[in-house]
């Protein structure tokens, strides 16, 4: 069965696994309600969370990545059903009472260790943001809103990827070959941001971002429903509800953070835009105005022109084997951890090219498993991501339930003549995702509710972004970058060119992220919104980003992060700010410093979400 779960040897098994989890959860709810307040209460709550998450988390991954439609469909169904049960439990008054009795009992509370106390408070927080304090009718309304929001999220997400079609005669003949033909139509499935032809990028931008009325009404309903839910449970806006418990804590802090960042960037961003404009005029004199479809292309072109960093020069040094070897040696020197390939059983993986790694510590033994789903295949989403399939926790019998995660990338397959070769960008992404995986492996908490990356969103990206700093350091790269044919190391000047090139247009690239984050905050801020989502996009784009809005486009309808990162898109930027501090203060002097690695593990990674993030950062 998938991931070694015996029921999941066929799609129908999801129903079985789900029924088993729901049965177990009913017994645990009864047990929680009849147990006197004490540490056991928290334990039972965590078992309840674990029983549901073990199926829901696994299904969350399978519904996206499994090549077999029947599996994807069954997983989607299981997600929905368990999601609905979770929303109901979050408004179950009797269940909440049992936790409330514990939190109200000062003597028992003072005897609990800090992690147990925090987990009890986090469970209570889940009740509160779900509207436990409301009367029955309003609680029902909250559950229904939550279920509707889940559905809208799924529909909106699907809509963000759908191609747009256009009559092929509308486009000049010499650029049609860039798009997929379908009878008399051309399909535009993305922005073609790397295409050197200005006209192709312009066409792709205007067609792919042409507003779709259904998708627009989905977004409007999603934002309105989120706002209604937040207000129903006692928050001013959805952003206030989403930011409680994060590092930022409230929308005001996020606003100040983004404004400060924007002020610091503005002069540099202007310089970047001027450089890009000059380059555009040089290549295309009759069309000198810098447009949104130009930014990604010309920033890349400037990098290439200045530093000659053609990926083709670098790929031969970054074979997948060499990169994995590099990660292995880094983790071994920094944390005493090694990665070992394991044989998988029949039916354990969903595609024969998935590899299973055991993560082993030199004295503590096996820490958990990472399934590497690294290669492209039809129907596989193109995003690189990390999924928790099973959280770690201390089981009732004293054993530790080992964490299981999946890392998903879209690398090219090896060919007859060459292994899988990674571009510098792919190599950096591999390090980034591995940062999440290590957080999952080392966030060895007693409770799975706060295991690994189950921590506030604006803190969750810190360990992964920190790994990018390692991936861009010559001392680290020099350990593993070898030409796959000759074994020669990557010359130092090539590494420094690559690192220097990252600074080109970095301000403009970051300003774009500030714009996305600001837009996300406004959408989830005060409702009713002052304007349509498109008007708000236009206004924010011109004010925060600086490149003109293009009429009849609606980029927000492709903004898939509004689903998973609603009101929290700023997290990437805030995590980057923290990661850069950690790098500079702890690892810049010596990226292999074992004592520092141990301190980083002890203060930051080990707690998962079991400790206030700001305290971990201070540590």
The verdict on whether omega for the bond into residue 528 sits within 30 degrees of 0, i.e. cis, is: yes
Residue corresponding to tokens 């700010």: 577
Q: How far is CA 483 from CA 230, 415, 497, in A?
A: 55, 16, 18
Structure tokens at 612: 């206030």
Residues facing 375 on adjacent strands: 411
Rounded-to-integer distance, Cα 494 and Cα 422, Å: 15
Query: Pairing mode, if any, of strands 404-411 and 365-375?
Result: parallel
Angle subtended at Cα 510 by Cα 506 and Cα 511, rounded to the nearest 5 degrees: 115
Distance CA 404, CA 359 (A): 10
Yes or no: say if 394 and 400 are a contact pair by the CB < 8 Å rule: yes
Q: For this structure, is 364 an active site residue?
A: no
Query: Cα-flanking dihedrals φ and ψ of residue 603, to 5°?
Result: -85, -30
The phi and psi torsions of 545 (rounded to 5 degrees) equal -95, -45
Q: Are 71 and 18 in contact (CB under 8 A)?
A: no
Catalytic choice (433, 461, 468, 535):
433
| DSSP secondary structure letters along 73-88 | HHHHHHHHHHHHHHHH
Task: Please provide the DSSP assignment of 199-226 as one string.
Answer: HHHHHHHHHHTS--HHHHHHHHHHHHHH
| Residues 145/225, Cβ–Cβ less than 8 Å | yes
Contact between 268 and 507 under an 8 Å Cβ cutoff? The reply is yes
Distance, CA of 304 to CA of 506 (rounded, Å): 14
Q: Residue 530, exposed/middle/buried by CB under 10 A (0-12, 13-18, 19+)?
A: exposed
142 vs 154: CA distance, rounded Å: 19
Structure token pair of residue 427: 């190599």
d(CA 145, CA 93): 18
- Kindly state the tokens that stand for 611: 């400790």
N-terminal to C-terminal alpha carbon distance within the chain: 42
Rg (CA), the chain: 25
**Are residues 443 and 601 in contact, defined by beta-carbon separation less than 8 angstroms?**
no
3-state secondary structure of 25: helix
Q: Which of 562, 539, 487, 553 is nearest to 205 (CA)?
A: 553
Q: H helices within 112-212, ranges in order?
A: 114-129, 136-161, 198-208
| Spatial distance between the Cα atoms of 208 and 162, rounded to a whole number of angstroms | 9
Task: Determine the 3-state secondary structure of 185 from DSSP.
Answer: strand
Q: Which residues are catalytic?
A: 433
């Amino acid at each position: 069965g998938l991931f070694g779960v015996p029921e999941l040897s066929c799609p129908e098994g999801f129903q079985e696994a789900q029924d088993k989890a729901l049965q177990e959860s009913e017994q645990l709810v009864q047990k929680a309600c009849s147990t006197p307040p004490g540490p056991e209460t928290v334990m039972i709550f965590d078992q309840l969370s674990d029983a549901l998450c073990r199926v829901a988390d696994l299904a969350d991954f399978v519904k996206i990545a499994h090549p077999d439609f029947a599996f994807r469909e069954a997983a989607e169904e299981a997600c929905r059903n368990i999601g609905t049960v979770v929303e109901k439990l979050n408004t179950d008054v009797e269940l909440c009472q049992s936790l409330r009795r514990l939190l109200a009992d000062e003597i028992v509370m003072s005897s609990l260790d800090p992690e147990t106390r925090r987990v009890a408070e986090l469970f209570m927080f889940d009740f509160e943001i779900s509207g436990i304090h409301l009367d029955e009718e309003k609680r029902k309304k909250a559950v229904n809103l939550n279920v509707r929001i889940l559905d809208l999220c799924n529909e909106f997400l699907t809509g963000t990827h759908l191609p747009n079609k256009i009559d092929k005669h509308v486009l000049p003949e010499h650029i049609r070959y860039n798009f997929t033909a379908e009878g008399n139509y051309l399909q535009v499935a993305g922005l073609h941001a790397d295409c050197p032809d200005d006209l192709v990028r312009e066409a792709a931008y205007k067609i792919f971002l042409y507003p779709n009325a259904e998708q627009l009404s989905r977004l409007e309903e999603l934002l309105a429903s989120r706002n209604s839910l937040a207000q129903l449970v006692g928050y001013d806006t959805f952003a206030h509800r989403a930011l409680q418990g994060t590092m930022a804590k409230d929308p005001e802090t996020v606003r100040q953070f983004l404004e400060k960042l924007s002020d610091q960037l503005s002069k540099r961003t202007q310089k970047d835009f001027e450089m890009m404009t000059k380059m555009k005029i040089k290549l295309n004199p009759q069309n000198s105005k810098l447009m949104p479809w130009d930014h990604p292309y010309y920033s890349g072109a400037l990098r290439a022109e200045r530093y000659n960093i053609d990926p083709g020069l670098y790929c031969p040094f970054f074979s997948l084997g060499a990169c994995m070897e590099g990660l292995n040696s880094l983790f071994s020197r920094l944390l005493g951890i090694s990665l070992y390939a394991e044989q998988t059983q029949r039916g354990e993986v969903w595609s024969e090219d998935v590899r299973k790694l055991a993560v082993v510590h030199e004295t503590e033994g096996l820490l958990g498993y990472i399934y590497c789903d690294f290669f492209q295949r039809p129907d596989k989403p193109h995003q690189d991501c990390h999924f928790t399939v099973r959280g770690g926790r201390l089981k009732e019998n004293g054993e530790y339930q080992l964490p299981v995660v999946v890392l998903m990338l879209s690398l090219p397959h090896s060919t007859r003549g060459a292994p899988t070769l990674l571009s510098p960008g792919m190599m950096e992404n591999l390090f980034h995702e591995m940062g999440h995986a290590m957080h999952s492996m080392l966030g060895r908490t007693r409770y799975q509710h706060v295991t690994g990356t189950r921590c506030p969103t604006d803190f969750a990206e810190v360990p992964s972004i920190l790994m990018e700093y390692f991936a861009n350091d010559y001392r680290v790269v020099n350990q593993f970058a070898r030409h796959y044919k000759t074994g020669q190391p990557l010359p130092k000047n090539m590494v420094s060119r690559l690192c220097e090139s990252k600074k080109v247009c970095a301000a403009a690239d970051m300003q774009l992220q500030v714009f996305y984050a600001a837009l996300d905050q406004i959408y989830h801020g005060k409702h009713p919104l002052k304007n349509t989502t498109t008007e708000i996009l236009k206004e924010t784009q011109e004010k925060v980003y600086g490149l003109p809005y293009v009429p009849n486009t609606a980029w927000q309808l492709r903004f898939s992060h509004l689903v998973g990162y609603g009101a929290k898109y700023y997290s990437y930027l805030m995590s980057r700010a923290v990661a850069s501090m950690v790098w500079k203060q702890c690892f810049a002097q010596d990226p292999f410093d074992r004592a520092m690695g141990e301190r980083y593990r002890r203060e930051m990674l080990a707690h998962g979400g079991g400790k206030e993030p700001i305290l971990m950062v201070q540590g």
